[in-house]
A and B are shown apart, each in its own frame.
Chain A
Amino acid sequence: MDYLIKADNVSLRVPMLIPADRQLLSNPLRFISDLYLGRSSRGVSDLLQGVSLTLKPGQRIGLIGQNGAGKSTLLKLLAGIYAPTTGSLEVNGVVKGLFDISLGMNPEATGLENIYIRGLQMGLSLGEMRDRVPQILEFSELQTVIEKPLNTFSTGMRLRLAVALSTMVIPEILLLDEWIGTGDLGFRDKVRAKMLSVVDGAKGMMLATHNVELMKSLCDECLVIHQGSVVFAGDLDIGLKFYEEEIHERASAKSLLCEAEQS
């Protein structure tokens, strides 16, 4: 096995419903007629087009691209949540993606119950979870409140629990959609140390973030994604420069042009 992930010419094309032009601007009551006559048209949307990439052991790849370029979609595809419409995707190893880590908890259940529920959902047995609970409690510093329902937790406390839970298993292949950094000052360092240990423990990583400094400190290579295609693959510094010059500038030039046309 000389690679962890190998994607060859992968595309993801999804059928989409495009609601008819509502013209709410001209008449706000139009939405009533649209509710019953809902003339939506069917279309297809190419979320990813011809993406090829390999992730080798020890490699850490950064994903660069504008909002909506397809970074998260690509990560979800690599995590096995979506399947490619065309092309082939081979994955060797246990993949774990950290997406929306604070979703999916039960607000009525206590913190401790949520630890178990989440652990079971991640495929651990009840026994394995029992062994991990002290470690999770120690990391999240929630020992005093853990028996209370989750909806009494503050936002910060909930995030701590989410971070502790999602970093308790170190996967072989780590897919990160935005770096997890949160909490008050003291906790932030702790999270950072924990995240770095997870990254170090993983055989390979892919990280999508807009934080350039962070990407420079963690990744050595990058993929620049634009409108669902990989437009650059290779060295991180060159990639960042390419992104700055080609895509970012062009996009801002385009918006300037639009503004000029409108005025």
Chain B
Amino acid sequence: MFIRLKQAAAPEVDLRTTYDAVVVGSGAAGGMAAHVLTSHGMNVLMLEAGKKLDINSELKSMEWPYDHPRRGQMAPSNHALSFNEYTIRQPPYAVGSRYKHVYSYVQGWGGSDYSKNIVVDEKDHPYSGTKYAWVRARLLGGKTNIWGRLALRLSDYDFKAKTHDGYGEDWPISYADIAPYYDKVDLYLGISGVKENLPHLPDSLFQRPNKLTAAEVTLRSSLRKMDRVLTPYRAGVTTDGLKHNKYRSKCFGRGACGRRAGGCDIHAAFDSPTGLIYPALDTGHLTLRTNATAREVLVDPKTGKARGVAFVDTETGRSYEALATVVVVAASTLESARLLLLSKSTTHPNGIGNSSGHVGHNFCEHVMGPGVTGLVKDRIGQARTLDDGRPGGFYVPRFRNLKEKNRNFLRGYGFEGSAGTTIFPEHAMETRGFGADFKKSVRDRAGAYISMGGFGEVLPRFENHIDLDPKLKDRWGIPTLRFHYKFGDNEKKMCEDMANAAQEMFEAAGFEILDVSRTMLTEGWSIHELGTARMGSNPKTSVLNQFQQSHDVKNLFVVDGSSHVSASCQNPTWTIMALAWRSCDYLASEFKKGNL
């Protein structure tokens, strides 16, 4: 085989000892914290709420549809929430369901049997309030096991967005502060792409890019005339290999990468376990405790400092306390805010780190839905090519509100898209008729379609927030989140423009427009929730400083997407990891000085 997966035996958790740091969560942020802190020689305990799964036997990435008893689909007793359900119902969505298990919408895609143990059952994990399509993965590595892999940098158009357009707050860092850490992430984890020299989408240190299909090249040429850019999908995938990581193979373009929710069982695509956690275990400084749901950050009443984390064993329901000098929260934007709010004490009556009252607020993300599908006529009847042997298709970076100002809305959006053949000819579902003509039409038109969909920046607003539901609890008796979150006028106007711009670009490229989608998908759909514990230099209006360190509690760090001050329109994972790296370097240095 291509890879060796044997890991070092993990040390058993010792609850009598005080670890240098306890990290809550094992996704992109928690994995990075474990990597950086152990590389500085700190002894780290990682708590993960989910299981440690044998991920390769879950994903079976190379299994043919016809070799699976349901061609990849989960059992009919299980149900995935649909757009309609999110639209007409209020959470908690699984209440009263006649299905055995209820999952978020991602399980409605093909290949759901491979991710049924990865995404959470809504029955165990209810939430309330406004409608929200909340996608969660509880297992070692979290959502990185199934992420979309688009790996983008943010720029000073994002970090200094208020300076640029007057809205919201600037981040307490600029691009120059984080650029060296983006470089570190690029080199340590691998990223593929093409340099474009765009000020609003800085280049990474790229490995070999995936190539564009014929229709994508046509679109790129056409967009150049409009002074817009189309670049191959910047994927958090190693295409040249990583000599320092024995757990990951380089991408060999085998195809079927489009299976969603997918995963990559050769781990060419980044995931936190093989990219960060297994190497951290190999240092001997990391202890892993899975099936451990954090329920509270413990506080020393004398000093007001964090002293560890209380957690519930998800199998036995028993409660435990893990002690540490530093607490690093990395449970995902919403779960981290939930944990802070759950951690009420005499010293921190509104929840730990929440003297500002901003925890849970300024919640933002990406809005999606508008997009376009076109027919590329000169691709009809062409010889068959393999077009899905790559992590993604193309990306069209933001072009709004950079040099010119759009009078209707603030900020911008980018598009993700692809053209070409896929293992399942989705257009067959839409092709009319039957018989030999139908069959030939499906055959001839394979690979002749192109589509793209937008991801737009949702403005952070104080009133968009989450808090704890006063009654509702999860399966382990822990209070759950209540949403008070809605897209606003800026998002609606942006989405109208997104749909129009998408149509205009496809028309200019000569594609026959088959469908223009103008529907905004449910809040949460992008799985890019951000901002519930934002950074800032003012402790009255922010939760964390520029090193993701609590203004209130100096040995408490929150290193995930909750710290982001604004959403940008560029996907957050790479920024989450670059920031976590920077903060954990600072943390380790402060720890060694005895300042924590």
Q: Do A and B come from one complex?
A: no
- B residues at A contact (CB < 8 Å): none
- A residues at B contact (CB < 8 Å): none
